[in-house]
A = this chain, B = another copy of it.
Amino acid sequence: MKKLLLFGLGGCALFTVGILIGHFAIQQRPKNLLFLNLRELTKVPHMATTKGDEETVQYVLKRWQDPTSGLDQAWREEYLVHLSFPDKNQKNSVKVGREKNYTSDQNDPEVVQPYAAYSPAGHAKGKLIYANQGKTSDYEHLNNTLNLTGTIAIVRYGGAGRGAKAINAAPFGVIGVLVYTDPGDINDGLMSDLNETYPHSWYLPPSGVERGSYNSQFGDLLTPYLAAKQDTYRIPKETITGLPPIPTQPIGFEDAFKLICDVKMDIYNKEELKNSSNVMGVIRGSVEPDRYVIYGNHRDSWVHGAIDPSSGTAVMLEITRVLGKMVKEGKWRPRRSIIFGSWGAEEFGLIGSAEYTEEYYTKLFERSVAYINVDISVFGNATLQASGSPSTQSVLFTASKQVKTPGHNSASVYDNWLQYFNRSSPTYGLIPNVGHLTGAGSDYAAFIHFLGITSMDISYTYDRSKTKARIYPAYHTAYDTFDYASKFIDPGFTSHQTVARTAGNVLLRLADSLLLPFNCSDYAESLEQYLQVALDNFQEELSKHGISMGELCQQQHITCVRLNTASLSGERSTVVNIRRINDQLMLLDRAFLDPMAFPDKYAYRHVIWASRSSGLATFPGLADAFEGAKNSGLKQDWSKAHKHLSIVAQAIAGAASTLEEVI
């Protein structure tokens, strides 16, 4: 079977609520193409701005510009950005070995040596101390009994952000940080490469090292809020914040366990301005070309990046192939425009997507219906996992009910998902759990946090009851190869297919439905949960400090009533009325933006989903400010909590007024 993508027509029944899209199905031949895409994309290392990266730019661009592709337009966008590399001539050294070769991939001269991007160069020599995960509390704990001045800390991945491990250490006098991958966190304790680890299983070999960016904000560091063009003003390097202040280096557990008391670090990283490219492709909308559904993934890897990110790029190319073909054959054109983005330099801090949102801020703000991110498409082959703005829950469910899981059983992706991740909803009972996009783990960050565009992140993953691995074990190492992916992550690439079908189905529904398939009452449910957590944890203490949660409760009540009735309001008897309702739906997440809310958190503007330090799943500014005040007891910190209470009340009120009868 060659042609399997079926759905209703784009320009169909104008006054109907939604349209039947049918299901997105890619089978035998597409499977081979997916396989071919991945093999092609992962032939060589393609770290951002390297020769290998340029080859992937050319590969994607050629595919999308090919006149038979069906895309209306494809081009590259280039930014001049501040990256950090090891020195090719002087190896960073902690007197450790290199990653062992198990396939020819690790032998490629373009494999970048393990390093902590944005760690300063420098030399450190000192006594080694073990500092758990490098959280501030970890260093404080040690500091009670030891003098940390002049020591080198060894910490394991997890618990705190990469850069934070060194930023937290420096105030205690620590002069260098080594970060290793603990076999307990990644390998379910297995440590031998004779039979337990890759190439015998998916587990990380003893010499494997997780690379990564140790930058704690996102976007190009020298051009905050400005697209990094040639002539753009760049801040002085010394004013960049959020980077490790002391030499930092990741190492494998083999080396970590060999280290003795005195350690010497020689780090030769250097920073460079480099041109990084996004590749963009467009299918023009037939009815509302000025409404965009954006689908994206990064293209750059640390080494070969078969899983991160090429599993996602392969899926994106498959989706563009199938949709492009339909356009080309004149069978279909979406109601709204679809923009595909293959982002550059994500690994250094979501740079390509962030620069894109800075450059096209106004246009994207005004016109974007949604952003779909599929970065690592397959972490494992057990189940779907998804995060998103709550209003996307229903379209994620609808799509996942229409796609079958791989293999012989006939369960839907939805039914399978429900087995692995679920929650009890006051409205629906037991349903799959859609996560919140509260961090900046991938390229959705600039879209949801900076622009307030309704976003989601979709992938397949492994069975967490069978492994405690914090992420697939070869993540960011030289073992994340086509060989690894095809043997241990997704043999037969059936989960890749499933993600392509599910994400493709979501994409089509967003691009084609007459009324946008966003469910406002699901947003209300999430807000109600947030409010309940806030009331349970903060109300009593706040009122002791004369701060009332009354305004927030009242606004929230109004907003939830409106969210629960929003999709029903207004006549739908005219094209203009449909557009009006869709505009209300499109702009709902925008209503929660406040550019003044988080002056210390770069580009975080979404008052509900911004990152938080607090473990409580509630309004992030309020939760963090409350905990700060509780710890310090200072009046000014209680004022900050009050301020965040007002900010969130106003944002929620703004959402309510967006949803009420338009005038």
Contacts and interface: CB of A to CB of B under 8 A. Distances in A.
Contacts of A584: 290
A224 B583 CA distance: 29
Interface stretch (A59-67, A307-315, A382-390, A588-596): A588-596
Contact of A655 (B284, B362, B653, B662): B362
B642 A233 contact: yes
A84 interface: no
A428 interface: no
Number of copies: 2
B233 A654 contact: no
A646 B363 contact: no
Interface in A208-249: 223-227, 229-233, 235-236
Contacts of A590: 362, 366
A657 interface: yes
A568 interface: no
B289 A663 contact: yes
Nearest to A337: B663
A384 B132 CA distance: 74
A8 to B, nearest CB: 19
A125 interface: no
Interface string A318-348: 0000000000000000000101000000000
B232 A292 contact: no
B226 A363 contact: no
A63 B169 CA distance: 68
A630 interface: no
B654 A363 contact: yes
Nearest to A360: B657
A236 B640 CA distance: 11
A456 interface: no
Interface stretch (A96-104, A395-403, A574-582): A574-582
A290 B662 contact: yes
A663 B291 CA distance: 9
A658 B364 CA distance: 9
Q: Which of A231, A591, A663 has the most CB of B within 10 A?
A: A663
Nearest to A635: B236
A287 interface: yes
Interface string A154-175: 0000000000000000000000
A359 B663 contact: no
A548 B234 CA distance: 13
17 contacts: A224-B596, A230-B551, A231-B548, A232-B551, A232-B646, A232-B650, A290-B580, A337-B663, A339-B663, A362-B590, A362-B657, A362-B658, A363-B657, A363-B658, A366-B587, A366-B590, A595-B596
